[in-house]
Amino acid sequence: MALLTKAQINSAVDRTWEDVPVPEWGEGAMVRLMELTAADRGYIEAGSVVANGQSPQLRIESLKTYREKLVAFGLVDENFERLYTNKEIGELSKKSGAVIERLAAKVQELSRMGRFAVKEAEGNSDAAQSGSSVSD
């Protein structure tokens, strides 16, 4: 099997998505949630860590909006464009906590984060490694 080129990697469609019903937002209401990009995931995860010298208050403020960030980064339209910008994330904090929790859990599942990453790792724990490793 030939190795992929950079162009092939960049053009590969590798993010999953799912249309999810949200009856609380109207009869027949649906939203589209998409797996997070590596950049979005890094942005969210970085906000959950307190670096040396930072105030723990920064971490608390970031964790307060963790679920809203997951939903805002995962909510897309029919063209797979984000519905909420980074500046609009706060708008989701005014929505039902139960709805945001459910949607955030779906984004985590699609992105294989949190408990969903653990489940996948457990399922792959017996898999043999392939290829080779180069060390310095």
Fold of 16-119: rbstp2171 (3.30.2220)
Span 6-53, pLDDT tens digits: 999 999 989 999 999 999 999 999 999 999 999 999 888 876 665 555
Domain boundaries, the chain: 16-119
Whole-model pTM: value is 0.75
Contacts of 36 (CB under 8 A, 6+ apart): 44, 70, 73, 74, 107, 110, 111, 113
pLDDT of amino acid 29: 97
53 Ramachandran zone, left/alpha/beta (phi>0; psi -120 to 50): left
Alpha carbon of 50 to those of 53, 54, 79: distances in Å? 8, 6, 36
Mean pLDDT value across residues 86-115: 93
